[in-house]
Chains A and B, each alone.
Chain A
Amino acid sequence: MKRLIFLVLTLLTAGIIHAQNVVEGVITDGKTQETLIGATVSIKGTTSGVITDMEGRYRLISDQLTATSVLVFSYIGYTSIEQIVGNRSIIDAKLMPEQFMLDELVVVGYGTTKKRNVLGAVSKVDNKELTRIPVPGIDQALQGRVAGVQVTQNTGAPGEGVSVRIRGAGSINSSNNPLYIVDGMPTADALNLLSPGDIENITVLKDASASAIYGSRANNGVVLITTKKGAKGKTLVTYRGQTGFQQATRLTEMVNTTDYITVYNEAATNDNSFLPPTLARSLIKPEDTEGFANVNYVDELLRTAPINSHEISVSGGNETTDYLLSTSLFDQKGIINGTGYTRGTVRLDLNTQANRWLSVGVSMLAGKTSRDIIGSSGDGAGGNGGSVIRYAFFRNPAIPVRFSDGRFVDRPAEFFGRQIFDSFLGDGYNPIGMTEKTEHTRNDDSYLGKAYFTAKLTSKLKFTTNLGLDYRNSETRRFFPTWGTLNRINARNGLDIANERIANMTVNNLLNYETSFGPAHNFSAMLGFEALKNGGKGLYATDSDFPIEQSELLFIGNGLGNKTSSQNEYTSTLASFFGRVNYDFKEKYYLSGTLRRDGSSRFIGDNKWGTFYSISAGWLLKQEAFLKDVSWLENLKLRAGYGAIGNQEIGLYAYSDRISPYFDYPFGNVSNSGYAQTALGNEDLKWETSFQYNAGIDAEIWKGALAFSVDYFYKVTEDMLVKAPNPPSVGYAESAWINSGSVMNTGIELEANYRHNKKDWGYTIGGNLTFLKNEVLKLDAPLFGGLVESGIYATRTEVGQPIGSFYLLEMEGIFQNQTEILLSAFQGNTIKPGDVKFKDQNGDGRIDNLDRIHMGSAIPKIIGGLNLSAYYKNFDLNVFFQGAYGNKIYVQVNQDIEGFYRGFTVTQRYFDERWTGEGSSNTQPRPSWTSKSNNARPSSRFLEDGSYIRLKNLQLGYTIPEKILAMAGVSKTRLYVSGTNLLTLTKFTGLDPEMTVSDNSKNEGDRSAGIDWGTYPSAMTIMFGIDITF
């Protein structure tokens, strides 16, 4: 009986539902209660929908309307809402203005604030943008997204770091990296642990008024990273998977064997005409070429490499507790054999409202990363081995890769059986052999944890304690096997192990107070104390002469040769008091001030403490009566700020000099231990301070469809922490750090965003542009950087020039004939027609190093990014361009491959453009070994314009209609295909205009940026991805 009644009722209901095909109602602004004209109402998963009329009313009639239908109410600038129809025929909806406008919360130092209240130069990047590009690191994902932020890759090697510059480089010697804060806790090392999918958003604090609350560490800007949290409501399970491949794109073309022989013989003939016959260089005769191969070593070195990424997260919560659990795996093989990067992480985020006044939470991230490294930066000076790409450029195409028995060919003389072949073909390393013979791995175990307790003491007063730990244990292992002709490479094999442990602990206590006096005066204050302790330990061991090169037996202790071991340990501490006061009158006039006092163990005595501050003001014009009724203007804000912030990024214990071992000397034929002073100290060292002005306008018009910001900044870094420019008569000891000189960075930043959304389609155009100028205002003595040839530096940093200004001879062309040589400034006794002609800048009639001039720097004049996204129904498309203009790159590797400067091969470009007689070329000199000292002199010949525009990312996605998915219990699925680095427009002829930092001169900072040693090329990546939400 019961069953029957149920059946009848069900049928009845069904009948009613079927009849129910009309719904009507009014849509209003949930805040102002005004009706909304032109708002959309549609039935989810269908094409039917209507628009509200002049009174905000709608009437939707559709056959597709059932009780289970979901209505979607949407309006530009408002958050869409969904309602299940049920048995209602009248459904009114209140739409709230979208958060990312004025009431959107923005993370600022030690707290959050409404976007409306932000007075400093602050930019925000959301997760959606960050997760588009398949990069392992979030710092890389920042590239091109934020005005004023320049991100450059060091090399294209997987897992390799990037350098991030916010508003230029303020320091000559010390670090120019920004401060990274993850969920309120500073981290130096955990950055590589966060997977882009873990990030909710990133906020960049650029000016003093925004960053001064971080005092001594904020000189280079602050990057605040907020991780994802669980949310109240249904448990959400998401999966993001990506798989794809990478391939090299731009490669320098080298000559083939036939062209090589031609140009070799030409060079030999050129040189022989000025040499006594006994010393003449032999030509490569046809009979010598038997057995010559034709190998493209660059191609041989590269491969198509897979890249995979998986992220799963489960989140949810109830009224009092929310949680998020996630795990990720990222695996990338490099496009150079033998390189790769793998990362696995687990993350837990748990927050709970313990009772009415206490909330607590914990966030833990643990991960393991592993890198396979092949030298790919510089010429080996940095300790990772020379760049194999460089070796591939040098390696002669005529030399086969392997002997028939599989061994790698090293010197050509060994393969061809005659000594002369070393002169014919050069004796550079076999790059393919290098990649297989290199065993260099680095494994990191990292942990990033945070816990907090927030007590709501009164309705206006909140007390928070945060505890953070950032821990890393890394092991680097390198083995150098013996190989090559006569075992010349690593004649004694050797093993290096480095074990390092870093633990950074932070505790801070914050007191927040917020109140209003009457209806007009709003006041909030924050008071805080923070203590940081960073410590590290390292243990290093080496062993050599292993009788068996078998990896299971390659352990310290098994070698027969010298064993060494050493150890280090360091600690640094920082204690700070800080406070912030915000006041506004009727949310119209704003004033804010911060004060911070930092004490650091890096300085001693009275110099330990530094005081930093900022003051800023804002005026929300839109709130004024005269603008209140301007309907197209949603928001208009003027803001300005001034502040002083510091920098302490110098080595620890810089106050002390150092006396170190390893200066041994033999007596009685036995090596005796020797010590020497290796660093000088300075007890008077104090904080570096930069003073910054910032003024900006934020505007939103057409209900937020168009939003833009303009900022102007002027920043002068004073008492710069620099290594004293000691005269070389001090010897080799590292100079002491001193406070000296000043650098200015000034510029304009623009950010704009336009949205246009219709029911089925819409698009967004967003862009940012930064104009930047960097200039040294004061410096005791010029500083050199970028050693590109024995004793010759490519840059000279001095007053009136940017940091790392290229300082070179200027190439005027090629000497076409003897007369021209005689009529020009004296350039040397051996100059012949076909040699490079330099400009006599000082007019003294001779060319020497005094004729060098400043020729620009690696700092771009303009950087920018452009993002276009569009959707049509279930399809979405995103196109992201990024670029730089006005930066110079010195192509050091061309000093070796654009002429016969070493016994190696040459580029195709050189072959095609070389001088072969009067009038044949004015760009590339004649082939000759003896003219190297002139033609390969560091000069503008090797300096190129590094401007570029790059199609950084293009992504096409399709969201599967939920109707189809509902059956599988899946609520949302998006499939996409994404391409990275698809297109680069540039005049630069090297491998990559983006990569400008090399291993060679790491400790010179920005003074040696923009020098291309032939590094790891960046890859074009094609990815297929899927996002699923249950």
Chain B
Amino acid sequence: MKRKIKEISNAFKTKFMKAITTQNIDLSYFKPVLVTFIMLISLGSCKDFLTEELKGSFSSETFFQNDKQAIQAVNGVYDAIAFNSFGNALWIFGDVASDDAVKGGNPGDQSEITYIDEFNADANNGIISNYWAFTYEAISRANNVIANVPNVPMEEELKNRIIGEAKFLRAYSYFNLVNVFGKVPLKLLPQQNQATIHVPLSDISAIYQQIEKDLSDAAIVLPLSYNAPDKGRITKSAALAMLGKARIYQQKWSEALSSFQQVEALGIYRLLTDYADNFKIAFENSEESIFEIQHKTGSNPFTGNALNQWFAPPAEGGYYFNAPTQSLVDAFERSVTGEADPRLDASVGRDGQPWLNGDLFSATWSPTGFLTKKHQQPLSEIPSSLKGDGDLNYIYLRYADLLLMKAEAFNETGKADSAIVNLNKVRQRARNSFDGEIPSDLLADITTTDQNQLRTAIRKERRVELAQEFHRFFDLMRWGKAEAEAALGQDFDFDTKRHFPIPQAETDANQGINP
């Protein structure tokens, strides 16, 4: 090829030189020019010229080569469940939609939340669409890990652990989805083509089946604990506890108990002495914490907790959302002398009571007169200029919750004695958290063995123990029509409002739902 070009160009050159010297062109010069022209064309048709590979970015073909990348991929899944973005609206569903809180904030700010609070939200509600996409993002990332990591050449134990972590996170995400929306598309494969993108709705039972399967798989491969640099990853006991929780939500009481017994058998968890410590930076990843979502301030990329700003009073540069209701405040027990359950002041800012910075809370900071005290840090830890970049983790599942779920399962299976033991452990710790001399009638042990009375007591206990931790609405829904309608009032019709509408954009675009 090269030689031919040379020959032709030489021939062309001689003729060309002649042409220049004689200044006389005739048609015979046309030939070499045309040949050169054709040469240039054939040069262009070379395949290489038109092939450009992706530079500087990974694709799924070039990623997933070794253990480091497998770890990076699963870290990305964790990122998708954190409270570092507003998409994570778990608090809106868990608390604002419940009887514990209202939207709060400036009336005009985020008004779409109001529709959720009033059960007036339609399929185009922005909060709903955002949360849907947010949760599926975690599922997508988990699916990519679960599908691709098995092919990565790496140490088997680590590989299994990573897949186990991803399965837990997928199960956690589906658990939230099924409880907010009911039937949802069950996507388990990387969304690379029409078949894996357009997936129809699955029955609630099928989704729970997958959640249980993922959690069981995860529990087999996950380690009991991690070394310091990996602290915060999902453990075996977290998978078991989550499995128990998923079973509680299906009223599979004895199966749930068996999961919880496995957790207890590992003997890892205990209640912290002071209830309030659970929500302090110094007690992160404590012995009470089973599954904790991690945040860290001052990182780039951002890994902070945005709730620190969303819930804070205006004077600190906060947006004062998720404002607790009087009804929640009233749910806390008081002694005859009026001393409140110490968990009240650990959970809710009230007029004239000490606030996080040692200053006194003012009712004018909130449209309800209350603000949540959890998920927030004092200005000494995070100055108001960095308000949105909080350091505090969020504990999704703590040992007290597990004890209360155990109590509930025991009670529902007719084992009142065992139920009381677990319930009173929680009450005892609450009682002991009282600052000063404990009033004798405050948070006394529950003694009734009547199933109904005990049920009421356990439910009441869950409300105050887990107040403002984004569980209330989901508890109300699983307790059923009577409990839910009693708590949520006339706005709420259990049969039509138990689940929030699937986003319109999903119904429009998902050919699995709308063929």
Contact = CB atoms under 8 A, between A and B. Distances in A.
B386 A658 contact: no
A784 B505 contact: yes
B266 interface: no
A782 interface: yes
Contact of A659 (B57, B77, B385): B57
Nearest to A791: B126
B57 A573 contact: no
B340 interface: no
B144 A849 contact: no
Interface in B232-264: 232-233
B192 A657 contact: yes
A672 B75 contact: yes
Contact of B60 (A567, A657, A662): A657
Contacts of B138: 731
B367 A279 contact: yes
Interface in A653-704: 653, 656-677, 680-681
A529 B80 contact: no
Interface string A709-730: 0000000000000001111111
B265 interface: no
Q: In this complex, which of A358, A419, A671 has the most chain B Cβ atoms within 10 angstroms of its Cβ?
A: A671
B27 interface: yes
Contacts of A355: 20, 23
A573 B508 CA distance: 37
A488 B386 CA distance: 7
Contact of A933 (B108, B187, B298, B363): B108
A791 B79 CA distance: 22
Interface stretch (B117-125, B433-441, B445-453): B117-125
Contacts of B109: 902
A930 B102 CA distance: 14
Contacts of B133: 728-729, 731-732
A667 B72 contact: no
Interface string B346-373: 0000000000000000011001110000
B82 interface: yes
A733 interface: yes
Contact of B383 (A455, A491, A544, A571): A491
Contacts of A921: none
A197 interface: no
A529 B44 contact: yes
B505 A656 contact: no
Given A675-B73, A829-B118, A729 B50 contact: no
B382 to A, nearest CB: 10
Given A562-B300, A658-B57, A791-B112, A457 B25 contact: yes
Nearest to A535: B52
Interface stretch (B29-37, B328-336, B406-414): B29-37
B111 A728 contact: no
A657 B191 CA distance: 11
A936 interface: yes
Contacts of A848: 120, 122, 124
A653 B503 CA distance: 31
Contacts of A650: none
A792 interface: yes
B286 interface: no
Given A569-B55, A677-B141, A791-B112, A669 B44 contact: no
A115 interface: no
Interface string A473-490: 000000000100011100
B343 to A, nearest CB: 24
A804 interface: no
A569 B53 CA distance: 11
Contact of A680 (B45, B191, B505): B191
Contact of B369 (A278, A419, A561, A608): A278
A352 interface: no
B76 A790 contact: no
A667 B187 contact: no
B299 interface: yes
Interface in B283-317: 284, 294-296, 298-301, 303, 314-315, 317
Nearest to B30: A457
A729 B506 contact: yes
Given A458-B25, A509-B37, A577-B41, A936 B191 contact: no
A239 interface: no
B229 interface: yes
B108 to A, nearest CB: 3
Nearest to A670: B229
Nearest to B300: A562
A573 B44 CA distance: 10
B324 interface: no
A570 interface: yes
A1026 interface: no
A729 B80 contact: no
Interface string A341-359: 0000000000000011110
Interface residues of A, number: 105
B151 to A, nearest CB: 15
Contact of B44 (A463, A486, A531, A792): A531
A469 B392 CA distance: 55
A125 interface: no
Contacts of B76: 663, 665, 674-676
A511 B40 CA distance: 13
Interface string A916-951: 000000000000011011001000000000000000
A903 interface: yes
A90 interface: no
A726 B303 contact: no
A600 interface: yes
Contacts of B226: 667
A200 B434 CA distance: 87
B50 A573 contact: yes
B176 interface: no
Nearest to B386: A491
A666 B303 contact: yes
Nearest to B231: A668
B129 interface: yes
A789 interface: yes
Contacts of B78: 665, 674
B187 A729 contact: yes
Contacts of B124: 791-792, 848-850
Given A529-B40, A933-B108, A667 B233 contact: yes
A108 to B, nearest CB: 21
A943 B51 CA distance: 47
B140 interface: yes
A595 B447 CA distance: 91
Contacts of B129: 728, 791
Contact of B25 (A279, A357, A671, A828): A357
Interface in A527-541: 529, 531
B137 interface: yes
B126 A575 contact: no
A21 interface: no
B197 interface: yes
Contacts of A674: 72-73, 75-79
Contacts of A356: 23, 25
Interface of B: 19-20, 23, 25-27, 29-30, 33-34, 37, 40-41, 44-45, 49-61, 63, 69, 71-73, 75-80, 82, 106-112, 114-115, 118, 120, 122-130, 132-133, 136-141, 144, 184-185, 187, 190-192, 197-199, 226-233, 284, 294-296, 298-301, 303, 314-315, 317, 363-364, 367-369, 383-386, 503-506, 508-510, 513
Given A561-B298, A674-B76, A929-B107, 4 more contacts: A663-B80, A665-B82, A668-B229, A671-B296
26 contacts: A455-B33, A458-B27, A486-B317, A488-B385, A562-B298, A562-B299, A575-B49, A599-B50, A659-B63, A666-B295, A668-B232, A671-B303, A674-B72, A674-B77, A677-B141, A727-B197, A729-B510, A730-B140, A733-B191, A784-B505, A791-B130, A850-B124, A902-B106, A929-B106, A932-B111, A933-B115
